[in-house]
Chain A
Amino acid sequence: MRSLANGKFGAFIIRSVEEGGRTCANGLPLVPPNVRMLGRFQHMKALRHENLCQYLDLFRCSLAKNLVIIVSEHHLSNLQQLCKNTNLTSLEVIDLSLQIAKGLEYLHEQGYVHGNLDISNIEVFQIKPIKIRLASYALSYLTDFGEDSESLIINSPYCSAPEILLSGSCSEKSDVWSFGMVVQQMYTKTLFSDYWSGPQFISIIEKCCKTIENANQCLFNTLQKTTDYEKNDTLEKIIMNCINALPSKRPTITEILKDLNLNDSEIEDFEYVDINALREEIQERMNTEKCFILSEMPIEDAFFLWKMSGASCESIMIRKGVIQLRAPVSTVPSSVIEDFVFFGNEESRQFQFDDCLVILPDDKLLEKISSLKITDVIRPIYFARITDSTEDIIIDRKTSSLTVVIKEKDVKYQAQRMSILRHLVDCIQFDGMEELLRKEAFVDIPPVLRSRVWRSLLHVEDEDCLDFYNLDTLAPHTSDRQLDVDIPRCHQYEDMMTSPAAHSSLRRILKAWLLSNTNYVYWQGCDSLAAPFLLLNFNDPQIALPCLNEFINRYLFNFFLRDNSAIIQEYLAVFNHLLAYVDAQLYTHLADLGFFPELYAIPWFLTCFAHVLPMHKLYHVWDYVLLHDTSFPLMVGLAVMKQLRPRLIDSSFNDAILLFSDLPDLPIDKLIENAVYYYKTIPPSCTFRVHDSPWKATYSDAPYNLNREISPFTVAELKELNCPRMSKDEFCWRVHQQSIVVIDIRSSMDFNRGCVIRSIHYGNIEDDTFKNVMNAFKIAQENCHPICVVWGKDFAAAVRFSGKLVFKSINGVCILDGGFENIRDDRSLITIGHFKIIEL
């Protein structure tokens, strides 16, 4: 993980080609070129090498529609300036060449080319010894070799290979040429731009390249203005080879590396640091450096905070006059035809911008971060006080109780949370860390760490990622056609999801999922389900796949079998029972309409709401899903019903259909709050499903750790019921806890022979007045206690009676699984000679 150190954030602009004028496939809007770039940029963000400046983000401008802004790590000094000010020894030149070559070799290995190497975009980030990083690389890949961009991104002609000047075609070998030119400038102490203008320089190249064979010699001689430099045969040979006119004659970077390394293999030496000295050094820096926290922060984290701390890149660029906007009214075309093709007034739509690198101002971020104490951010308490309560971990109680949306915009709060959670996920293998992580995740999950926290919560280990490597996702599959249809329609409001790069990655993950789960088939909705994992692990399909697998294994177990009706039907039946449990009135109304969950809830549960909620809301819901057992999606479903209740409660069948076909905007904080509330109040065993996942969340506290097993019912049997059932274990626990109201509907003879302690007898179930028990019900509902029906031999009577209660709008009704017979042996529960029939 690279820390920001003394780096800055540098931004530059690329203009993409104008939208429109291209044919549009399958009726979907054409992907604009800047979105295509956005997708490819995700791959570039993953490039990590000691000698490469890291790419951080790509923004599509919203006002200057076709511009994109690219942000990368940036250092204030570059090699060109260094060469001007310092007299490099030939050893230093070799070392620098080696560093450049290493950077290039890494790019080439990864299948990229730099395409833009110049002495001015090699940035110096350390002076002693000199360390450099390449910048502005792989832009040819970003723009699909110029297909998607309008502005030529050639910085200067001084290092561009002849083939680039001719056709813009860059390759590994054009990088080799540029490398040669850079090394020559360092070696011969002649900075080309000091002596020749661009056009002059090009005419030199042109002249020398006329004689193909001697081009290199000609160039080398013409382009040195002084002979006063330390001669070095190795360097000279490398330069000569590199600046060969014909690409095939130039060596590869791999070969160059060998030559450079042979010459001096001891260039890298390790320094051993004394721990005490290091401690002192850190102490010293903490005391003297104002921005110690920031400079030690991972560069991605720092940029994430930067984004929250002030104006957007685009507005900075506009304010600085780098982007020159025109009023929209002046840019309207004369006519628009066919698929949004403009004619007339073209010139005014070309946004003008300065082709330069802008250093993004970071004073606001610095100001905010430096107001934090170091101990606020770097907290060693985790090692010292693992067993302590979390009280003191939550630093800022006031902020942490705010809604998650607000917390995600608070720079200081996020800085602290990111540090804590990064610390935790880094040492997740150690004892007790997982528990701590869960505790922290309950507070909230910082967006930058979501992928790693989720991975830890899903227990995806490194070896789980190996499965992916044996799956041939290129091979044709029976679901290909369906994927072709679904993928371009998946979460299309999210920019990234509209990019071809995301489409191909999503296809890769879905096909890998199908190949690794041969018992499952592709159901529509799988795409939405996989999308969050794709977005969080864009460049790591090997992680996205096991995460998706584990998520499905837990929360959507067997949902994707070819015949999943039994599983889904049971799920919906249980959901319906829970609805009756929490809102009998609404349940009754919908039952009267004949409006059952089959009509609306299948896409909810089949995709665990991924098809219903927009991504930013889905993340927060899943943050909570992952911290709970497999019943939590049901709770989210109930919370959605609660949001819709005011409109459902007097709706007609058609109103209801219409409402669900186009759900209103759901307030996410309310949704989660209610879901958690239901999770806490609904008896866990009421959520029992025969087809539930074999995975069980581990709980140490009752009633969650109790056996939830209840007698398996068929879907038809479940549909007979109007309320859930409670397991024996939970029933016993609740009776002892006095957190239940027990209604006994057996005959008074049976009741007197033995009954559950504190139970209420209601012998005549045909009596619809409930006169004697209403008060008990009221108290139960106030305390959120379940009302459990205990029955003897006649289960049908229990069903009928509980139904009556539900239709009387009494919440919290459930039936004891197995009835009195199931518990009669538990002596601690039973009392005899209980003459008082009604006890309030």
Chain B
Amino acid sequence: MEVEFPIDSDGDSTKKISIPIPLPKYTNIEDWVRKVCASETSLDYEDVYRKLRDFIRSETRKYEDSKNDVLILSSMSKNFAFPQIPKDHQRQPSFAEKFQFVVSKCSSQNLITLMQMEVFMKKEMTEMIRARNWEVEELTRKCEKVLDEHNDDMHPHQISMLNEKLRQVYVTYSHQVAQLSENQRQKYRKSVDSLFSHGSLPADFIEEIDLDESHFMGPATNSTNAEGVNESFTIYIGAQLKSMHNACLVTVDTMTDICQTFEGDWTTSSRLEMATKLYGRNLAAVTLLVPRDPMHHVTSSTKFQKLCEQSTELHFEPLAEQLNHVKTSTRQGNIWRAECVEKDDCGEKQIKPQLHDSVLSIGDVYCTKHSNLHKIQIVFHLVADDVLQSVEISSRHACLNGIRNIIKMTAHFGITSIHLPLLLIDRPDESTTIQWCVKRAEMVYKCVKGYLMEVCGGAANLESLPHYNVHFVLPSGLTPSIYTTIANMFPSIFHLVPSVSITL
């Protein structure tokens, strides 16, 4: 609504200035007074100010009165909305809170016993998984043997019999594994509860722990990758306000390897480290590239899924359940997307996402949390497409938006260490040429730098400048010259902190 304000000077009352009521956001009365004063010389500012202020006030009042009169008259038949009065939230402490309490307050002996319990549980689980794997392997070999012997003239009934047997073994074991997981989880929770409430562990649980110091089997210790790059830099981020960060270039076979727990990694001390970090603000995260199905890890039984299964997830839900939540939230996300498209029909042709579709889009990120991976607590799953492997992409590609979201999440959820696939591919193939790699690396470097600037920009105060460890991960198997080129490119994009003090 616009109202005319008569500028009264020299009796010339025809001159008017129109003023929007209510005043637009972030404009004030003074702005309009100055407008009036600028339009007419010989006006007294104070005088105009008073008049205009009273004028705007009474016009605003009129506007609000009529609005609220209508509101009251029309809603007299209905009930008043009751204002939300803060409820007394006497909630029970969650497992996470109890655990934090236990870690910070319990005697070290108890804590060590609890950690030993974890180690023991891992041992139990590993043994079971190994037994399963062995049996399945045996059976598979047997099947193959039978198949080979009979060549092609085997009765279909026989084949299905064998398959059935194989399936049976699977089912039995998966029941057993689930049973064991559940047991361990219950026990662990009970122990934490008991530590929380009486400061001691249930005696019968302690007795069960049977740790012979002999090693249990796991994948062989990682022979450190000799090939590729392993370099680290200290960098500055920020145009005016600078903050310091670490950046590393690392080479691994696949991204999943970063979370892999090796033999000897699973000790009471490493568990203790996890216990103190898990609920803190120095989390570590890794980024995996995944296809669009949210249940991919389970349905395809990926390497990552196998890693998770090595031991019971004692703190969070099992992977499959977490992924189920992802499925639900994907559906919610797609509904939200569809609504957004409906809302702004601004001619831009957008493919309307299908409602109730629980398939992720390229660039979406889903998150899972873990207490049983190697020094990693959060895993970001970035949805990538096959095209990414070969085609050149622009900085507006959805995947880079995914990386942006990951970096923003890093800032948001107390993550200080993050692993990103520098080339946005898991394994190289014939299309990964030198030029392609260099281009891709440059693009991701630059984008990540921009995103880091974005998250470091809004630092709440100068005392707590953010500090991140960013790991750029390269796949193994590239030609050595690619590694050197990419490593050499780094200082031309990021601003290195000089190793020597530059002040004289």
Contact = CB atoms under 8 A, between A and B. Distances in A.
Interface of A: 21, 23, 29, 32, 35, 60, 62-63, 65, 108-109, 111, 144, 152, 154, 157, 160, 162-163, 165-167, 169, 171-174, 198-199, 202, 205-206, 209-210, 212, 245-248, 252, 326-341, 343-345, 352, 354-355, 466, 468-475, 491-495, 498, 500-501, 503-504, 508, 611-616, 642-647, 658, 662, 664-665, 667, 670
A337 B27 contact: no
A493 B283 contact: no
Residue among A162, A327, A339, A612 with most chain B CB within 10 A: A327
A333 B322 CA distance: 11
Given A62-B461, A473-B31, A495-B460, A334 B73 contact: no
A664 B326 CA distance: 43
B337 A338 contact: yes
Given A152-B83, A165-B83, A166-B81, A343 B332 contact: yes
Given A162-B80, A334-B329, A662-B495, A341 B336 contact: yes
B238 interface: yes
Given A210-B76, A247-B72, A664-B495, A111 B65 contact: no
Contacts of B66: 248
A499 to B, nearest CB: 10
B474 interface: no
B202 interface: no
Contacts of A615: 240
Contacts of B278: 327, 329
Contacts of B378: 329, 332
Contacts of A165: 80-83
Contact of A333 (B85, B367, B456): B367
Given A247-B68, A334-B367, A472-B35, A29 B377 contact: no
Nearest to A162: B72
Contacts of A339: 401
B330 A493 contact: no
B465 to A, nearest CB: 10
Interface in B77-114: 79-86, 89, 94, 96, 100
Contacts of B67: 169
A331 B31 contact: no
Contacts of A245: 72
B80 A336 contact: no
B22 to A, nearest CB: 9
Nearest to B335: A343
Interface in B386-439: 401, 404-406, 408-409, 412-415
B462 interface: yes
B38 A247 contact: no
Given A154-B83, A327-B100, A329-B279, A352 B89 contact: yes
B214 interface: no
Interface in B358-379: 360-361, 363-367, 369, 377-378
A330 B34 contact: no
A765 B198 CA distance: 94
Nearest to A669: B503
A469 B72 contact: no
Contacts of A246: 69, 72-73
Contacts of B497: 664
9 contacts: A157-B85, A169-B67, A328-B281, A329-B414, A337-B405, A339-B401, A470-B38, A475-B38, A611-B240
A461 B408 CA distance: 47
A344 B33 contact: no
B29 interface: yes
A152 B85 CA distance: 9
Contacts of A65: 412
Given A111-B29, A166-B75, A212-B76, A491 B460 contact: no
B221 to A, nearest CB: 28
A484 to B, nearest CB: 14
Nearest to A205: B80
A292 B415 CA distance: 47
B31 A337 contact: no
B311 to A, nearest CB: 18
B211 interface: no
Given A169-B71, A246-B72, A331 B413 contact: yes
Given A332-B367, A352-B89, A493-B238, A29 B34 contact: no
Contacts of B193: none
A653 to B, nearest CB: 14
A335 B23 contact: no
Given A198-B85, A644-B502, 13 more contacts: A65-B412, A109-B53, A111-B29, A157-B82, A247-B65, A247-B69, A333-B329, A333-B367, A334-B322, A343-B329, A343-B332, A344-B329, A642-B504
Given A206-B80, A247-B64, A501 B503 contact: no
Contact of B280 (A327, A333, A495): A327
B50 to A, nearest CB: 10
A493 B459 contact: yes
A524 to B, nearest CB: 14
Given A337-B365, A504-B27, A173 B332 contact: no
Given A252-B61, A327-B96, A504-B26, A166 B329 contact: no
B242 A664 contact: yes
A465 B281 CA distance: 49
A341 to B, nearest CB: 7
Contact of A326 (B72, B73, B79, B96): B96
A146 to B, nearest CB: 12
A212 B73 contact: yes
A21 B332 CA distance: 13
Contacts of A468: 34
Residue among A330, A335, A340, A643 with most chain B CB within 10 A: A335
Residue among B84, B333, B401 with most chain A CB within 10 A: B333
A348 to B, nearest CB: 9
Contacts of A333: 329, 367
B299 interface: no
A329 B337 CA distance: 26
B65 A472 contact: no
A171 B34 contact: no
B64 A171 contact: yes
Nearest to A169: B68
A616 B462 contact: yes
Contacts of A341: 333, 336
Nearest to A502: B26
B314 to A, nearest CB: 13
B296 interface: no
Residue among B68, B86, B89, B492 with most chain A CB within 10 A: B68
A248 B65 contact: yes
Contacts of A494: 241
Contacts of A21: 336
A472 B31 CA distance: 7
Nearest to B498: A647
B167 interface: no
Contacts of A108: 57
Contacts of A475: 35, 38
Contacts of B283: 328-329
A664 B406 CA distance: 27
Contacts of B401: 338-339
Given A62-B464, A144-B25, A644-B502, A329 B369 contact: yes
Nearest to A39: B26
Contacts of A662: 236, 495
Contacts of B32: 474
B454 interface: yes
A340 B408 CA distance: 8
A231 B482 CA distance: 93
B344 to A, nearest CB: 8
B413 A328 contact: yes
A343 B333 contact: yes
Contacts of A327: 96, 100, 278-280
A35 to B, nearest CB: 8
Given A332-B369, A352-B89, A491-B240, A473 B34 contact: yes
